[in-house]
Amino acid sequence: MLPSLPARAVLFVVLFAFGVGCRPARPGALPGGGTAWSALRSERFVLHTDRDVTTSRVLFDQLEATHAAMARVAFPGRPAEPELIEVIAPRDPDALATLDLPPLPARPEGNAATSAKGRASFLRTSLDPRVEAMILLPEGFHPGALQRALAIRFVRQSVGAGPAWLRLGLVDHYSALQTSLDALTLGAPPPGVKLTLDRSAVQASGAGDGDPRRGEVSAQVHVDDIPPIDQLLAAAPALFGSPFGLEPRPGVGAPSMPHRVGAWALVHFLLHGPPTISGRFPDYLARVERGMPDLVPAKLLFGAQGTRAAEPLFRAHLRALAEQPQTRRTPFTWPERGKRLPDPASRALGEAELHLLWARLTPWDAGHAGAVRDHLERARATGTDEAEVTFWEGLFALHEERVDEGETLLLASNRVAPSARPLGELATLYLDRLDRSPDDEATKKKLGAIVDQLESRAETTAELNRVAWSHAVLGQGARGLPFAERAVRQRPGCWACFDTLARLFYQQRRYDQAVDAQRRALASDQLGSKKADVTQRLRCLEATAKAARARKSASEADCWQTR
């Protein structure tokens, strides 16, 4: 399956904006007048900043070292992802005022100091298909913000299809990673969170009182208020909040601090508890990462007796955490120890590039459309990279539903400099048309021509899945299968990739393999409103496979065309 339009290009964008005021700014204005901005780039990061050379290099080394710590210790064995992590680090925090970011949610009474500290972290969709994560780090950011951003990235890549308690528990666990010259310390509580045996301390603490600049989900929680393991495993995702804290999300429901802290405590128990417990957790993580169905997590985690024998051990672990942090030191050699990190490629940003950057950062909504358009016009007037400016003009035209103009601009961008970005957006445009009109032969011909070019340029999981899904729509199962298999190997938690793989197997009459792939898609905790469709397709596939085994004629209807 191809993900829905708002999410198809990239996984997520993390913005950490601290102390940003709201001052009027003319449309198209650049931060600091647009002077002295540069870009530093490695295989993993691209840093846009107007800070001096020394400060920029220190920040860049911090990005690389923190990522290395996460990759080598917290999430070992993860394959490198081709998408970039883009970091924007302005010297002047007021430079962000032109972005008009949303304010913090209302804080509890008596916590005015917290609400005045600045803005919390935000989850937004990236506009660049080749940028997986975007991190905005103004002057004075707290290192915990960077750790949380990278922890979210790794959790999304590894167990993104897993249950909410696991995802949020791992994010909070690794956000509290502590570093020293020769070791990393794991197991400290999330910033601002404290388990306690003192009921009076809980009554004096307001839930969610943490400093948003530190990514804190702060409160004191009594150990007896932590739900039992069975309830944590079965709880609705909304009870655990978001990766950034406990702010309510519209239409989702209010989160629960005991559940959120309980998720962290359960992950801590599974990682650092008795060997009979911690020994099972790596196998469970590997199973979740492979997208395997997780029908009886209690038995996978705790053996045949499930949580019955584990619950008393968990309660004892909670009390130990309340009395003293339970941590583990792991030897670690920082990348810069002994030799300097490779120098990133550095160059000055031109005015047009900065206008394009700010066009991407500005919200693409009705209230800011004029500012986005102004930035794009100024980039056109001052720039020399015809393909890049035309690409963003085309993407913005599609966003404003000027579809014919957007298609023309994307085709023009690809003619100037063929690349996966315009090709991918064009493929998605044609797939959307075919979803509405499956027999549109002219659009099929356009899609085929685009996919022919995209095949050799597809690298990211989204691009590989887009090529595979395009071949499925065109009825070219054998040609699309290698791309779908690459996509699920690269990101085993991608439910849409398994949905694509199932359709390609189905087209080749490999029904049992199609059923297995669709079950792995259904095992994801990220389906949302798509769960009913994925379940319906699985039932259709199971019926087809059963008929094939019995050598009976199966329905000729396409399980992906059934509504």
Query: 98-157 pLDDT, tens per residue?
Result: 665 544 333 222 222 222 233 333 334 467 777 766 777 765 566 667 778 788 878 877
Does residue 317 sit within a domain? Answer: yes
- Give yes or no: residues 233 and 328 share one domain: yes
Confidence check: pLDDT of 499 > 50: yes
- Give yes or no: residues 186 and 305 share one domain: yes
- Give yes or no: residues 184 and 153 share one domain: no
Q: Write out pLDDT tens, residues 308-360.
A: 889 999 999 999 999 888 888 887 776 554 445 556 778 888 889 989 988 98
Helix (H) or strand (E) holding 377: helix 369-382
Confidence check: pLDDT of 563 > 60: no
* Band of pLDDT at residue 80, cut at 50, 70 and 90: low
329 vs 178: CA distance, rounded Å: 9
349 vs 48: CA distance, rounded Å: 8
Confidence check: pLDDT of 390 > 80: yes
Structural tokens at position 69: 């710590």
Q: What is the pLDDT of residue 387?
A: 93
In single-letter form, the type of residue at position 5 comes to: L
Which contacts qualify for 550-554: CB closer than 8 Å, 24 or more apart? none
- Give yes or no: residues 149 and 167 share one domain: no
- Give yes or no: residues 167 and 150 share one domain: no
| Listed range (72-81, 276-285, 336-345, 504-513) with the worst mean pLDDT | 336-345
Q: What is the pLDDT of residue 559?
A: 87
Does residue 369 sit within a domain? Answer: no
Domain of residue 196 covers 162-206+217-332
Does residue 447 sit within a domain? Answer: no
The pairing of strands 131-136 and 13-16 is: parallel
* Band of pLDDT at residue 447, cut at 50, 70 and 90: very high
150 vs 70: CA distance, rounded Å: 8
Tell me whether residue 491 is exposed, middle or buried, using C-beta atoms within 10 angstroms of its C-beta: 0 to 12, 13 to 18, 19 or more.
buried
Confidence check: pLDDT of 168 > 60: yes
Higher pLDDT, 486 or 141: 486
Q: Specify the 3-state DSSP secondary structure of 90.
A: coil
Other Cβ atoms less than 10 A from the Cβ of 28: the count is 20
- Give yes or no: residues 175 and 225 share one domain: yes
Q: What is the pLDDT of residue 291?
A: 67
Does residue 99 sit within a domain? Answer: yes
CATH number of the domain bearing residue 95: 3.40.30.160
- Collect all residues with Cβ–Cβ distance below 8 Å to 546 and sequence separation of at least 6: none
Q: What is the pLDDT of residue 345?
A: 78
274 vs 282: CA distance, rounded Å: 14
Summary mean pLDDT of the chain: 78
What is the pTM (predicted TM-score) of this model?
0.77
CA angle, corner 555, sides to 550 and 561, nearest 5? 135
**For the CA atoms of the chain, what is the radius of gyration?**
25
Does residue 45 sit within a domain? Answer: yes
- Give yes or no: residues 173 and 90 share one domain: no
Nearest partner of 448 among 418, 414, 484, 423, judged by Cα: 423
Q: What is the pLDDT of residue 96?
A: 64
- Give yes or no: residues 56 and 68 share one domain: yes
Higher pLDDT, 20 or 299: 299
- Give yes or no: residues 140 and 196 share one domain: no
Confidence check: pLDDT of 208 > 50: no
Structural tokens at position 240: 């655990």
50 vs 354: CA distance, rounded Å: 11
**Which of 288, 312, 332 delimits the end of a domain?**
332
Structural domains counted in the chain? 2
Confidence check: pLDDT of 423 > 90: yes
- Give yes or no: residues 133 and 231 share one domain: no
Does residue 380 sit within a domain? Answer: no
* Band of pLDDT at residue 497, cut at 50, 70 and 90: very high
352 vs 433: CA distance, rounded Å: 33
Phi-psi region at 98: left, alpha or beta (left = phi > 0; alpha = psi -120 to 50): alpha
- Give yes or no: residues 137 and 38 share one domain: yes
| Listed range (15-19, 200-204, 367-371, 535-539) with the worst mean pLDDT | 15-19
Q: What is the pLDDT of residue 396?
A: 95
**Which of 332, 348, 376 delimits the end of a domain?**
332
- Give yes or no: residues 38 and 85 share one domain: yes
Does residue 423 sit within a domain? Answer: no
**Which of 317, 332, 347 delimits the end of a domain?**
332
Residues, the chain, total? 563
For the ranges 107-111, 288-292, 431-435, the maximum mean pLDDT occurs at: 431-435
* Band of pLDDT at residue 283, cut at 50, 70 and 90: confident
Does residue 72 sit within a domain? Answer: yes
